[in-house]
Structure 1
Amino acid sequence: MLVSRLLDLGDLATLGRLKHGIAATWAKSLNADKLPGEQYTGPPGDPGLFGPDSVMWYVHDDPSGVVGGVMGLILGSLHEPTMHGTNRHSVYKDDPLGRLGRTVSFVNTMCWASTPVAEKMAQTVRRMHEHVHGTMPDGRPYDASASPHLIWTGVTQAYGIIQAHLRYHPDPVSEADIDRYFAEYAVITEMLGATGVPKTAAEVEAYFTGMRPQLTFSEETAEVVDFFTGPIGNTPVARAGSRLLNKAAFDLLPPWAKRLYRLPDDPIDQGVTRRSIKVLLQMLRDSVGESHIKTEALARVRAHPRVLSQTG
């Protein structure tokens, strides 16, 4: 693997180019498209749905979350009705980076934005979901507004992000905070209209156990694999970095999902991937720096609310 070889060589000049290429690919992937209404600056004093002391802010303030987000998309693709609805009512096939960007835009807004902005974003997405429904060729229905669909999409994302956090964050949260994270992420899923969302690690595991008979590797799932196993970017360094990020996402899947994807069990390759992505993520922390989203959100929270003067 190119990235592993470069890191082992320790060529400082190449390392500098690698940092720049990865950071550029990172920015392009996360900003491929945005949902309308995304902003983090106001109103002043509003902590948003979670606030600075939440597990949500801590977990999402690290690039490891993107590895988990991609894993969540890959895991979610094993539910055929969900993928069928996505492919029939979006431009995912033609613009997968755009879909990834919109997913990131939604999660960022719900996590970091003020309460009214998050509420409006949830309403926007709910209206979008109203148009995504129908019947599959085999007669099975799909409906993006239905609670089972919303739960599957939300839980797979939350599970992917927290698993990436636990494996790759330099100071991961405690077991109790894992439950807090699932409970906080459930707020987002509930705002989209879901009920009965799993809110602890144990509930999530039980949920997956119940869902596994419904999961399969389908033709539409294979299209997701084709995208996430291919390189992204216009330079060799950027393409190598993106392939490593995606490879780490597949490696993060739970064992039962890896079996459905027919992924080989290669401990040596897994070791190389995990060691390389740890180095790459640290490079991202060093080269990208603090997120402007977090900076704006903190400034908003710490600002004094405007008070209208009253006379007379």
Structure 2
Amino acid sequence: MSLRRAIDDAYWAMLAAAHLPGEQYTEPIGDPGHFGPGSAIWYVHGDVSGVLGGVSGLLLGTLNEPVTHGTNQHSDYLQDPIRRLGFTSSFVMGVTYGSTPVADKLTGTIRAMHQRVHGTMPDGRPYSATDSADIIWTGVTQAYSAARAHVRYHPNPLGGRDLDRYFADYAVISEKLGATDVPKSRADIADYFAMMRPRLTVSEETLQAVRFLRGAYGSDKATQWSSMALSRVATDLLPDFAKNLLGLKPRTPLTPVVARATGTLLTRTLRYGVRWRNIEQAHARVGAAYVPPSAL
């Protein structure tokens, strides 16, 4: 087996371990979906740097304690993280690149799942996955982290107003899930975090989730090493306020240097080996040429 094939197989074994029903990228012909090939979100999500941002977004998301508690109570990610990662990737990629009926079907599936995620925390605070504020938190932390990874590791990253276009695109996903008044620009997100920071807390449950996300998982040494390396790169992508709250400030001046060198190595390796068949299919569906980031 060639090195490229081995990298591709390992990547999709992790990201495509599970799929939501209805995820596909080939039909109907000509339907660009909610975004299309000229959109910022197609560009940003079409690179492996998004995986680094996704893990960083999960770490950042733990700081909203009701959301973390709800996830712990209604998810099996601690028992089967690869399967959970597969479902998350299936949703994000499917809504980004799928046709309109595919994106709507996936959104409907997640909204139905969210209906079951509600309850009360031990301190009496309610949580609900259908609450607009909780949907916004999840969407913003993911979009913000994906954008940070994109800017740092993409070979030709978007900037300025093009990043605003990306945040506006991602806001559509949150709105489809039931959120209102979603932040849609860099300025909106800066204001949002300024508003949210006094409400963010760190509990033992938060720290448990962080320890898990930063730990090694997988059945073989290569996967375990890769997951550890990925988590350190994802930690480095966190904003300073999150690192301070979670006790993840760099131990030495070399810590971020090593993390960023590792991030560059990871993204270049994955870019070399991974073939984005779903994105190729989405471009073919609308008759657009696909140029992978490695060819830029």
Q: Same fold (TM over 0.5)?
A: yes
Match 1:177 to one of 162, 179, 190: 162
Match 1:294 to one of 275, 279, 293: 279
Letter of the structure 1 residue corresponding to residue 146 of structure 2: I
2:217 corresponds to 1:232 = yes
Structure 2: any 5+ residue segments left out of the alignment?
289-296
Check the 8 A contact 1:21/1:235 in 2, yes or no: no
Residue 68 of structure 2: aligned partner: 83
Cα distance in 1, alignment partners of residues 9 and 29 from structure 2? 32
**3-state SS of 1:82 partner:** helix
Residue 37 of structure 1: aligned partner: 22
Residue 248 of structure 1: aligned partner: 233
Letter of the structure 1 residue corresponding to residue 31 of structure 2: D
Match 2:85 to one of 93, 97, 100: 100
Q: What's the CA shift for 1:17?
A: 9.3
Cα deviation digits, residues 111-148 of structure 1 (max 9, x gap):
00001110111111111111111111111000100100
Q: Residues 222 and 22 (structure 1 numbering): CA distance in 2 closer, same or farther, change over 3 Å?
A: farther
RMSD of aligned Cα (Å): 1.8
Residue 269 of structure 1: aligned partner: 255
Check the 8 A contact 2:153/2:264 in 1, yes or no: yes
Q: What's the CA shift for 1:190?
A: 0.2
Letter of the structure 1 residue corresponding to residue 270 of structure 2: L
2:41 corresponds to 1:47 = no
Match 2:271 to one of 241, 262, 285: 285
Residue 162 of structure 1: aligned partner: 147
Check the 8 A contact 1:44/1:300 in 2, yes or no: yes
**3-state SS of 2:216 partner:** coil
Report how many residues are paired: 287
Match 2:172 to one of 173, 183, 187: 187
**3-state SS of 1:302 partner:** coil
Q: What's the CA shift for 1:235?
A: 3.4
**3-state SS of 2:116 partner:** coil
Cα distance in 2, alignment partners of residues 174 and 208 from structure 1? 20
Q: Residues 55 and 187 (structure 1 numbering): CA distance in 2 closer, same or farther, change over 3 Å?
A: same
Match 2:193 to one of 204, 208, 230: 208
Residue 258 of structure 1: aligned partner: 243
- Mapping of 1:18-167 within 5 angstroms? 23-167=8-152
**3-state SS of 1:142 partner:** strand
Cα deviation digits, residues 251-292 of structure 1 (max 9, x gap):
100000000110132221210110122022111111113x00
Check the 8 A contact 2:56/2:237 in 1, yes or no: yes
Cα distance in 2, alignment partners of residues 217 and 28 from structure 1? 33
Cα deviation digits, residues 63-105 of structure 1 (max 9, x gap):
0000001111110111110011111112122222222221111
Q: Residues 21 and 255 (structure 1 numbering): CA distance in 2 closer, same or farther, change over 3 Å?
A: farther
The worse-fitting range, judged by mean Cα deviation, of 70-79 and 272-281 is 272-281
Letter of the structure 1 residue corresponding to residue 269 of structure 2: M
Check the 8 A contact 2:7/2:273 in 1, yes or no: no
Residue 182 of structure 2: aligned partner: 197
Cα distance in 2, alignment partners of residues 18 and 136 from structure 1? 48
Q: Residues 40 and 156 (structure 1 numbering): CA distance in 2 closer, same or farther, change over 3 Å?
A: same
Check the 8 A contact 1:18/1:238 in 2, yes or no: no
> What is the TM-score with the length of structure 2 in the denominator?
0.92
Cα distance in 2, alignment partners of residues 281 and 70 from structure 1? 14
> What is the TM-score with the length of structure 1 in the denominator?
0.88
Check the 8 A contact 2:11/2:274 in 1, yes or no: no
Q: What's the CA shift for 1:198?
A: 0.2
Q: Residues 233 and 256 (structure 1 numbering): CA distance in 2 closer, same or farther, change over 3 Å?
A: same
Cα deviation digits, residues 209-253 of structure 1 (max 9, x gap):
111111112222222222222223333333222211111001100
Q: What's the CA shift for 1:30?
A: 0.7
Residue 221 of structure 1: aligned partner: 206
Letter of the structure 2 residue corresponding to residue 275 of structure 1: A
**3-state SS of 2:34 partner:** coil
Cα distance in 1, alignment partners of residues 232 and 9 from structure 2? 19
